């Protein structure tokens, strides 16, 4: 993976090589961190990089931080401003992926959320293909499943809690079985991807402990706009 040149770290943009944390950092030891993921797409004819729904993504990101009792002192608009400054320095002319990360930054031992400093980092890297250029994907049923919301908040992008601790285990077993996705007794998302099957327009919402799939709601909104002519 190509590493970025810069990172927003401890309140300012620094060379990526200087964005480091100690091995006792609370977020590293206990998973007390929340992250986001934003895509940006390069338009060659217009020579412009377009971010996909950054305000909505950063709103969701900040909602995840609240679960961990974090206060970054940021708004979706201020996070977007930082991101644009970072991208101006990186000068990417290709599709990219932006990773904001909020974490408990004290180098201390102790399982708690209060009384610990909150920090923010943002980096941007070239987009990667999860499945490559092969045709089609394979699925399987895994005995591993994501945690319930009353165990670890699955509705937020909490480090180690979303799909990435149990989901990674499921993905490894799926990979060994030469499959690409995991299931939970019924069609389910992949480790970092989403699949949507339109069966009918008005269907019951999924369980509240399912992680908010922003793209699914945006897709539904676009369908309604087309149908209603709004």
User: pLDDT tens digit string along 149-176?
Assistant: 666 666 677 876 655 444 555 555 556 5
51: β partners: 40
42: β partners: 49
pLDDT-based confidence at residue 1 (cuts at 50, 70, 90): confident
Q: Mind listing the pLDDT tens digit for each residue in 26-71?
A: 999 998 999 999 999 999 999 999 999 999 999 999 999 998 999 9
Among 106, 111, 101, 100, CA closest to 25: 106
Please give the torsion angle defined by the CA atoms of residues 79, 211, 37 and 144, in that order, rounded to the nearest 10 degrees: 150
| Number of residues that make up the chain | 230
Percent of the chain as helix, strand, coil, to the nearest 5? 25, 20, 55
CATH class for the region spanning 6-126: alpha beta
Provide CATH 3.30.470.10 ranges for the chain.
6-126
How far are the Cα atoms of 2, 73, 101, 159 from residue 85, in angstroms, in the given order? 20, 18, 17, 26
Q: What is the pLDDT of residue 166?
A: 47
Distance CA 184, CA 167 (A): 11
């Amino acid at each position: 993976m190509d590493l970025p040149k810069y990172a927003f770290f401890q309140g300012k943009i620094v060379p990526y090589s200087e964005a480091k944390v100690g091995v006792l950092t609370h977020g590293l030891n206990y998973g007390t961190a929340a992250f986001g993921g934003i895509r940006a797409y390069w338009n060659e004819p217009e020579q412009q990089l377009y971010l996909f729904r950054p305000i909505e993504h950063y709103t969701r990101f900040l909602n995840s931080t609240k679960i961990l009792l974090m206060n970054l002192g940021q708004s979706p608009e201020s996070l977007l401003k930082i991101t644009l400054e970072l991208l101006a320095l990186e000068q990417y002319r290709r599709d990219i992926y932006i990773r904001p990360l909020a974490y408990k930054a004290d180098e201390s031992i102790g399982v708690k959320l209060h009384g610990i400093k909150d920090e923010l980092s943002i980096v941007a890297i070239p987009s990667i293909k999860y499945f490559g250029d092969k045709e089609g994907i394979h699925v399987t049923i895994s005995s591993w499943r994501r945690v319930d919301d009353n165990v670890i908040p699955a509705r937020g992008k909490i480090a180690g809690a979303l799909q990435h601790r149990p989901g990674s285990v499921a993905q490894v077993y799926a990979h060994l079985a030469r499959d690409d996705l995991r299931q939970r007794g019924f069609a389910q998302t992949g480790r970092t991807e989403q699949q949507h099957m339109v069966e009918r327009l008005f269907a019951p919402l999924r369980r509240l402990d399912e992680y908010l799939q922003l793209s699914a709601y945006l897709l539904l909104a676009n369908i309604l706009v087309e149908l209603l002519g709004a």
